[in-house]
Amino acid sequence: MDELEVAFSNTSVRTDCNHIFLNFVPTVIMDPSKIEQSVRSMVMRYGSRLWKLRVLQAELKINIRLTPTGKAIPVRLFLTNESGYYLDISIYEEVTNTSSGQIMFHSYGNKQGPLHGMLINAPYVTKDLLQAKRFQAQTLGTTYVYDFPEMFRQALFKLWGPGNGHPKDVLMCTELVLDPQGCLVQMNRLPGDNDVGMVAFRMKMKTPEYPEGRDIIVICNDITHMIGSFGPQEDELFLKASALARAEGIPRIYIAANSGARIGLAEEIKHMFQVAWIDPSDPYKGFKYLYLTPQDYTRISATNAVHCQHVEEDGESRYIITDVIGKDDGLGVENLRGSGTIAGESSQAYEEIITISMVTCRAIGIGAYLVRLGQRVIQVENSHIILTGAGALNKVLGREVYTSNNQLGGIQIMHNNGVTHTTVPDDFEGVFTILQWLSYMPKNKQCPVPVIPTTDPVDREIEFIPTKAPYDPRWMLAGRPHPTVRGAWQSGFFDHGSFMEIMSSWAQTVVVGRARLGGIPLGVIAVETAHS
């Protein structure tokens, strides 16, 4: 890893998909499952450093004996962490094919790994298009859009808690796409096959509150496609997916990583136009108009990419450009029209269904509006919510006032002013927070709130007693560690561990959030008397 850090110091060369191979020569007496536990704890200890160095795969070869007199078994452990939040460990035994005599991988134990049945001398898989997109998204500080379904799956496992108590099919996910007629249809296609910068999923999740399953619609920007900008096709997919959520009364989740409405250039015109200067010898005096020559106008007029007015000037024929339309759709004001449409759709969804937004990387322009038009906002720590960037504002102000976009819309701004309801350190914790919030909410607008069994008796005594001196109202709501008995808990009004506060940095004289009482979800408003 030290050598990798040296390689990373060369900024002109970017490394990715690094693979570490370790070969242990001595034969050891050990159960392979114990090796897996040891390796997993080691990776978790150095996980952040490995991820920073883009070590996505590791391979350990070791000869083991199950008993002191047993036969030595060549075993390989493969570790994979392509997304940054899910560590996959597969164990293989090297076996010889009796018919061909070649050595191949054979999965050890009940789990069948992806290399099962492959020859051990098969070449390693090189970086593919999907990994290139994943690396692009991760470099920008977010998660690749097609990794979010698996992230929801892992967050569901965490929500269910340790052990094997969760359902086998805890998440079923289908992508929603627009067919050639513009209708929203469900489709199972390979990740990365999208041709627009917006991706929508329909997910059926089996949660502790709804073990039979609940449906949600998840809409995500694909920041690897035109930096996540909004064009007519992106707006249409967002509109149809949100309308589907409203029609069924199910929650709509929006994961924002975008650069606002798309502003394009008509490339076919950019290299053709001429400039009529006021004074050809002094361009600083400005220009009268832009125009095309008769030859260029004849060539481009059939595409209806430009509107011109014919004039005769300086002894030559000119076509003054009055309107630039472009031969491709999605270059100009049609994007702003679509932005207004989906803003209206989000306002309607606010009134009818649960709308939660998570900002990862950045939300700019219409992306910021859509986030704020939702009911709840989660912001990842390295992200920002802005309408205009710091560079543009500095030009307007004429001096360097802002050094980064975080000064305009980072968590220290948006969380403190009440736009962001909670902040999280990374995307996985953001998705987990979404699931926690949904656990207090009905599966659709026709259902009552979910009531779950609780370990706290409903007729228990509330152990925390308010004092005349100032105290934290959260102690009364959620309880606190016992002040005098070490390791004991002093219970509060609500079920133990059920209180979730929002907007903790804004309007600090009021404490708000959700909690459960006897397993029943409730909203909480309390007064903070310690602040004036």
- Same domain, residue pair 188 and 245: yes
Residue 531 has what pLDDT?
63
The structure tokens listed for 227 are: 């930096």
Q: State which of 440, 469, 484 marks the end of a domain.
A: 440
- Same domain, residue pair 20 and 148: no
Give the CA count within 13 Å in the CB-facing half-sphere of 292: 24
Residue 32 has what pLDDT?
78
- Same domain, residue pair 378 and 484: no
Residue 337's φ and ψ, nearest 5 degrees, are: -60, -45
Q: State which of 440, 474, 509 marks the end of a domain.
A: 440
Q: Is the dihedral of CA 365, 215, 379, 429 positive or negative?
A: negative
- Same domain, residue pair 122 and 137: no
- For residue 399, being part of any structural domain is answered with yes
The Cα–Cα gap between 489 and 492 comes to 9
The Cα–Cα gap between 221 and 346 comes to 15
Residue 81 has what pLDDT?
86
Q: What is the dihedral of CA 330, 339, 429, 225, to 10 degrees?
A: 0
Residue 433 has what pLDDT?
98
> 3-class secondary structure for 210-268?
CCCCEEEEEEEECCCCHHHCECHHHHHHHHHHHHHHHHHCCCEEEEECCCCECCCCCHH
- Same domain, residue pair 90 and 203: no
- Same domain, residue pair 116 and 170: no
- Same domain, residue pair 373 and 241: yes
Q: Is the dihedral of CA 53, 55, 60, 66 positive or negative?
A: positive
- For residue 311, being part of any structural domain is answered with yes
The Cα–Cα gap between 186 and 459 comes to 48
Q: Say which amino acid occupies 51.
A: W
Residue 481 has what pLDDT?
94
- Same domain, residue pair 419 and 521: no
- For residue 6, being part of any structural domain is answered with yes
List strand residue ranges (DSSP E) for 100-234, in order: 103-107, 171-178, 184-187, 198-205, 214-221
- For residue 332, being part of any structural domain is answered with no
DSSP count for the chain of H helices, then E strands: 15, 24
Residue 162 has what pLDDT?
84
- For residue 331, being part of any structural domain is answered with no
Whether residue 493 contacts residue 476, with contact meaning beta carbons closer than 8 Å, is answered with yes
**How far, rounded to the nearest angstrom, does the alpha carbon of residue 335 sit from its chain's CA centroid?**
23
The Cα–Cα gap between 283 and 182 comes to 48
**Residue-level pLDDT, tens digit, the chain, 532 residues:** 777 777 777 766 677 788 889 898 888 888 877 888 888 888 888 887 888 888 888 899 999 988 888 888 899 999 888 877 788 889 999 999 888 889 999 888 888 888 888 998 888 877 778 888 998 999 899 999 999 999 999 999 999 998 777 898 999 999 999 999 999 999 989 899 999 999 999 999 999 999 999 999 999 999 999 999 999 999 999 999 999 999 999 999 999 999 999 988 888 898 899 999 999 999 999 999 999 999 999 999 888 899 999 999 988 999 999 999 888 888 888 889 999 999 999 999 999 999 999 999 999 999 999 999 999 999 999 999 999 999 999 999 999 999 999 999 999 999 999 999 999 999 999 999 999 999 999 999 999 999 999 888 888 999 999 888 888 999 999 999 999 999 899 999 999 999 999 999 999 999 999 999 999 999 999 998 776 5
- Same domain, residue pair 395 and 526: no
- For residue 73, being part of any structural domain is answered with yes
- Same domain, residue pair 85 and 1: yes
Pairs from 65-70 (Cβ < 8 Å, separation ≥ 24): 65/27, 65/28, 65/29, 65/30, 66/29, 66/31, 67/29, 68/29
**β-pairing, 355-359 with 376-380?**
parallel
- Same domain, residue pair 154 and 78: no
**Apex CA 433: angle with CA 431 and CA 437, to 5°?**
120
The Cα–Cα gap between 134 and 129 comes to 9
Domain that holds residue 13: 1-126
The CA-to-CA distance between both ends of the chain, in Å, stands at 52
- Domain with residue 160: its CATH number is 3.90.226.10
- Same domain, residue pair 54 and 182: no
> Exposed/middle/buried for 375, CB within 10 Å: 0-12, 13-18, 19+?
middle
The Cα–Cα gap between 113 and 126 comes to 18
Q: Say which amino acid occupies 52.
A: K
- For residue 261, being part of any structural domain is answered with no
Quote the number of domains for the chain: 4
Q: How many residues does the chain have?
A: 532
Q: State which of 440, 463, 496 marks the end of a domain.
A: 440
CA dist 445 to 35, 440, 448, 451, Å?
A: 49, 13, 8, 15
Whether residue 237 contacts residue 344, with contact meaning beta carbons closer than 8 Å, is answered with no
Residue 532 has what pLDDT?
56
- Domain with residue 306: its CATH number is 2.40.460.10
Whether residue 102 contacts residue 80, with contact meaning beta carbons closer than 8 Å, is answered with no
- For residue 445, being part of any structural domain is answered with no
